[in-house]
Amino acid sequence: MLHWRREVELQCREAEFADEQALVAALGAATAEHFGTVPAAPVPAATPEPPDAPATDGRRRGAHPRPAPLVTQAVLLVSVFVGGLIAAVTSGQFHVRSDMGAGYRHLVTGNPVAMVALLFAGGVLVGFGTRLAGGCVSGQGLNGCGRLSAVSLVATATFFGTAVAVSFLL
């Protein structure tokens, strides 16, 4: 319900700024309020172009940016794998395994069905927690803490405090 309510609020805000001139005026006012300056006179808008006219970046006006091509995503994934492989081989710690190790089986379970169910439940909880917290640990730590967001500072301290406590327990 909270997620739905937040989505409705965001849709209302987006609709409020569908007019480009209203958006420019609101951004100018917010900048002036933040920096204590008087906003400059708004630049008169050019003649409106048809919605299907290309924008300066080659996209249609009003179109959402397209996600990165699949090739670039695949290259990133392969690069992460190759980088980890090179690091493991050069450090002498590369070993091919078909399981997660005896320690994991001892801590979790020896039953493969229960292990898959537990991993699935963990994945669902991670996804729910990420959505509930408004971002992942690295996003909260890098972006939120960099902006000195109180919520991100508390969230990051909680994430890392919990990680340290769990590592000591294990």
pLDDT in tens, 78-131: 999 999 899 989 998 888 877 766 776 666 666 778 778 888 998 898 888 878
Q: How far apart are CA 29 and CA 38, in angstroms?
A: 8
Backbone angles phi, psi at 54, to 5 degrees: -70, 140
User: With 90 as the cut, is the pLDDT of residue 165 above it?
Assistant: yes
Share of the chain above pLDDT 70, in %: 73
Split at pLDDT 50, 70, 90, the class of 64 is low
Q: How far apart are CA 53 and CA 64, in angstroms?
A: 14
**Domain spans in the chain, listed from the N-terminal domain onward:** 2-35, 112-170
Tell me if 148 sits within 8 A of 137, measured CB to CB: no
Rounded to the nearest 10 degrees, how much is the dihedral formed by the CA atoms of 128, 134, 136, 140?
-150
Mean pLDDT of the chain: 77
pTM: 0.33
